[in-house]
Amino acid sequence: MSTEPLSLLAPDGTFTAHAGPAGPAGPFGPAELRALHRDMVMTRRIDTEAIALQRQGELGLWPSLLGQEAAQVGAGRAATPRDVVFPTYREHGVAWCRDVDPVSLLGLFRGTTLGGWDPASNNFQLYTLVIGAQTLHAVGYAMGIVRDGDVGTGDPGRDRAVLVFLGDGSLSEGETNEAFVWAAAQSLPIVFFCQNNQWAISSPYSVQSRVPVAQRAQGFGFPGVRVDGNDVLACLSATRDALDSARAGNGPTLIEAFTYCRNPHTTSDDDGRYRSGSENDAWAARDPIERLRRHLVSSGAADAAHFAKLEAQERALGERLRTGCRALPDPPPDSSFRNTYVDLPAELAGQLSEHTEFVAAGQEDAR
Amino acid sequence: MSPTAMAHALNAGLRRAMEDDDRVVLIGEDIGRLGGVFRVTDGLQKDFGDLRVVDSPLGEAGIVGSAIGLAMAGYRPVCEIQFDGFVFPAMNQIVTQLAKYRHRAEGRASLPVVVRIPVGGGIGAIEHHSESPEAYFAHTAGLKVVCPSSPQDAYDLVRQAVRSDDPVVFLEPKRSYWRKGELDLDAVPAPVERARVLRAGDDVTVVTYGALVPVALEVARICAEEGRSAEVIDLRCLSPIDDATILDSVRRTGRLVVAHEASRTAGLGAEIAARVQDRAFYSLEAPVQRVTGYDTPYPPSRLEEDWLPGVDRVLDAVDRTFEH
């Protein structure tokens, strides 16, 4: 198989049409191109603001996605509202595409919640921190879709699929490999979207595997597709094709979006200890947002007034994130007790009383 | 009402649960055409089809992980783990995902998943086929843990577990699979979290569950011959523990013996002893006695008879409570 990734948009912004399994990808209309650009710009603003909030002590931690905006927006916009999305903990751009309030992404990292949104309301599941665990949940959900009869009917209002995100590190987890086995054996409507950002904290991809990510799908018996992860159009096209195929009942696809996270693993990490700045510079030159901006300008799809308006929207989002973060309420002290089981067991009720008295006494002492 | 083996009662309970709710899906290794290695799911795939009784690939994480996803999609999956010692590849999914999801979702969503596991020894098995892992699950917030001791309880509890919106680890004492007991398919079941007093007594309380329940009843019978009146409590639900029933008994008898096959340290017996000394200290006539498996891996089967808590060891423990 070719390891040359599918690319539609060159780093200089030149567009080249490419025929995929579902026909030629593109041309993309100017409105769609502007929308994708806006999604990436807003995603980056969420990331930048969150890092600043972490530096100011408002967040305990933030996993940055800098450089992965195209992969996330391309894949995120390929899914329909009826498709179900399972993220890792870095899918801030996908969350944006699923209309999850960006402020609610901050709660997990501020310590006000371990989730932050209703997993059912946007078909966007909660962030999963244990690497690879969500791949099996995605498989189970896809089994549910099969049992609902919502696959292969040909009715676009009915057929749906699961889009699950994973990283290069998760490919070494047993659970991810089990998910591949299950998805293949049952020909499930599922797309595995792997952002290969080449580093699992300090472990380079060479620690995980000796073959490209996409090639691994072959051994499990389903297609693997390699795309330029910094090309939002390639990511969108490949994911649309794969989701169409899944919804039609043709089984799973593994997409490898070859990309690079230009920030350390999280705000707690120090990537100067394990990788070079020159690698980072090379990937900065392949920036996903800049390349689409160039295309928008050269194709005349957007003018200066458009970019000025976008900048204002971006600033407003930043302000909303800063205010919203500080306004996130602390959870009620009894929330953990009440959310562990449907009904509070007697022993836990006793522990809650003990805790409530302790907290009240502390507040009394503070007065 | 007819004498039925626990394995058949479980089969009837699962069948009833599947008839009552078409979103109940069974997943496990060899549970379809074979009917499970203990035949608990015998005939169910034939009657409900292979979308509802799924012969899974070998992968316990996959069994529980996919059940979680099915539950997210609105189904009520029942997993079968083939043997107690094979649950550990699924522990990540059980502990980090299944147990914690409702809490993570701030109560907005639950995972109604049942994980059935044959447990316990006394069947002459090889390594990993005789273990008692209940304490791991009872220690994990967010899980309910139940363990029936009779065909009727097995039938009732499995149906209640399927209806529970909380995840339930359902432990099946494999030594009891083929013991027969009366089964009434339409009996009104007791609440899941209620321990059951199987024999009333005044002098000593014996608390146990699962395969040791018949042992405790035999102990009580012998005690009666010796002029001691032993009360036998079948815990049934190992998490949450029904303190009230135990405390009520110990406040009357003043003596407590807890018996389980699982190793002693940090086991259920330790938790029960701690609660009783905390809440009924002045009722106690003697220290609480634990009769348990030892703090070793489960031994080769030629040694298991003496390793497992049997009638004599429990009787010795009862004697010790009268030495004070």
Domain ranges within chain A, ordered by starting residue: 18-327, 335-366
Q: Do A185 and B57 touch (CB under 8 A)?
A: yes
> Whats the size of chain B, residue-wise?
324
Instruction: Find the mean pLDDT for residues A219-236.
Output: 97
Q: Do B165 and A126 touch (CB under 8 A)?
A: no
- pLDDT over threshold 60, residue A21: no
Q: Do B89 and A174 touch (CB under 8 A)?
A: yes
Minimal Cα distance from A134: which residue of B?
B65
Shortest CA distance to A146 belongs to which of A185, A175, A178? A185
pLDDT above 70 covers what percent of chain A? 97
pLDDT band at B130 (very low <50, low <70, confident <90, very high): very high
A267 in Cβ contact with A15 (< 8 Å)? no
Residue of B66, B103, B247 to mutate, testing the A interface (most A Cβ within 10 Å of its Cβ): B66
pLDDT band at B246 (very low <50, low <70, confident <90, very high): very high
**pLDDT at position A24, please?**
59
Catalytic residue among B8, B103, B128, B129: B129
Chain A residue numbers touching B93 (CB-CB < 8 A): 133, 136, 175
> Whats the size of chain A, residue-wise?
367
Chain B, 145 to 174: residues with Cβ < 8 Å from chain A are 164-166
Chain B: nearest CA to A215, how far in angstroms? 22
Geometric angle at alpha carbon B154, from B143 and A341, rounded to 5°: 20
Cα A276 to Cα A69, A114, A271, A348: the distances in Å are 22, 34, 8, 51
Helix (H, G, I), strand (E, B), or coil: what is residue A143? helix
**Closest CB from B72, B74, B105 relative to A137:** B72
A172/A83 Cα distance (integer angstroms): 26
Tell me whether B240 touches chain A (CB under 8 Å).
yes
Cα A332 to Cα A148, A219, B105: the distances in Å are 38, 49, 15
Tell me whether B96 touches chain A (CB under 8 Å).
yes
> Which of 3.40.50.300, 3.30.160.110, 3.40.50.1820, 3.40.50.970 is the CATH number of A18-327?
3.40.50.970
Geometric angle at alpha carbon A350, from A347 and A352, rounded to 5°: 110
- pLDDT over threshold 70, residue A22: no
Mean pLDDT, rounded, of chain A: 95
**Closest CB from B64, B75, B107 relative to A338:** B107
pLDDT band at B324 (very low <50, low <70, confident <90, very high): confident
**What H or E segment, with its residue span, contains residue B157?**
helix B151-163
Interface predicted TM-score (ipTM) of this complex, two decimals: 0.96
- pLDDT over threshold 90, residue A18: no
Shortest CA distance to B16 belongs to which of B115, B163, B171, B147? B163
Active site residue B128: no
pLDDT above 70 covers what percent of chain B? 100
Domains of chain B: 2-183 (3.40.50.970), 196-321 (3.40.50.920)
pLDDT, tens only, A65-123: 999 999 999 999 999 999 999 999 999 999 999 999 999 999 999 999 999 999 999 99
Cα B123 to Cα B130, B133, B154, B286, B300: the distances in Å are 8, 17, 19, 34, 11
**pLDDT at position A366, please?**
82
Tell me whether B55 touches chain A (CB under 8 Å).
no
pLDDT band at A362 (very low <50, low <70, confident <90, very high): confident
Q: Do B142 and A341 touch (CB under 8 A)?
A: yes
DSSP conformational letter for B283: G
Tell me whether B139 touches chain A (CB under 8 Å).
no
**pLDDT at position A258, please?**
96
Which class for B53: exposed (0-12), middle (13-18), buried (19 or more C-beta within 10 A)?
buried
- pLDDT over threshold 90, residue A25: no
